[in-house]
Amino acid sequence: MSGDREAAGGAAHATAPDGDPPPLRLDGVTKQYAGGGGTVTALEDVSFTVERGEVTAVMGPSGSGKSTMLNMLGLLDDPTTGSVELLGEPVAGLSAAERTDVRRERVGFVFQDFHLIPTLSAVENVRLPTRFLDADYTDRAVDLLTRVGLGDRLRHTPDELSGGQKQRVAIARSLINEPDVLLADEPTGNLDRDTGEAVLGEINTIADGGVGVVAVTHDELVGEYADRTVELIDGKLHD
């Protein structure tokens, strides 16, 4: 664990039992797109493992391939070459419906712009990913919101919440299905430093429970709260 991460107040993270495969892994992934000026390589031979209980910050300038890498980890796109592995198994053969199920069950997403439904309360927003499931997840939604410090904002709509509170609702929503992995796209991008630190503290707490967290960001503050920081430059990953 890095000195910066310890200074930020993080606890030792939970680790997987010996022999358990990591929840997600990119193995030699290259992604190319055909453009008007020729082929564009967004990722080049990227190998990356999401470890349980670890917060990894993926940093790099605009256009470095961070969004493409996030799409690969989120099973939203396929590599040109290489493979994406879920719990040690390649996902290339999964149908679109199967990928949707896997994302719902295994992967949580947190977005820079929150993506909350403005007409729904905090509880309803958190419960939203479970709307097509048979069970009632209201109690879990309430518990998650309470855990992130919003027990007194359960019935508030997004326009009644601050930026930091909205991000906490988004974090709670990402955890409603107990995912193995949390993918965060610029989680502090719309927050001031104090609020960003509070949100990153919540993310560290999530990782302490054994969830693998990957935060794609420009913000150096995220690196201070991460266990590991890697750089993505021109589609190539550097530890």
% the chain with pLDDT above 90:
72
Indicate the pLDDT class of residue 28, thresholds 50, 70 and 90: very high
Q: Is the pLDDT of residue 6 over 70?
A: no
Q: What is the predicted pLDDT for the residue at 14? A: 44
All domains of the chain, ordered by start, with CATH?
A: 3-14+51-67+97-238 (3.40.50.300)
Query: At 21, which amino acid appears?
Result: P
User: CB of 77 within 8 A of CB of 47?
Assistant: no
Tell me: the pLDDT tens digits for 158-209?
999 999 999 999 999 999 999 999 999 999 988 899 989 999 999 999 999 9
Full-prediction pTM beyond 0.75? Answer: yes
Of the candidates 131, 174, 136, 166, the one whose C-alpha atom is nearest the C-alpha of residue 150 is 166
Phi-psi region of 63 (alpha: psi -120 to 50; beta: other; left: phi over 0): left
Average pLDDT in the 123-145 region? 93
Helix (H) or strand (E) holding 123: helix 122-127
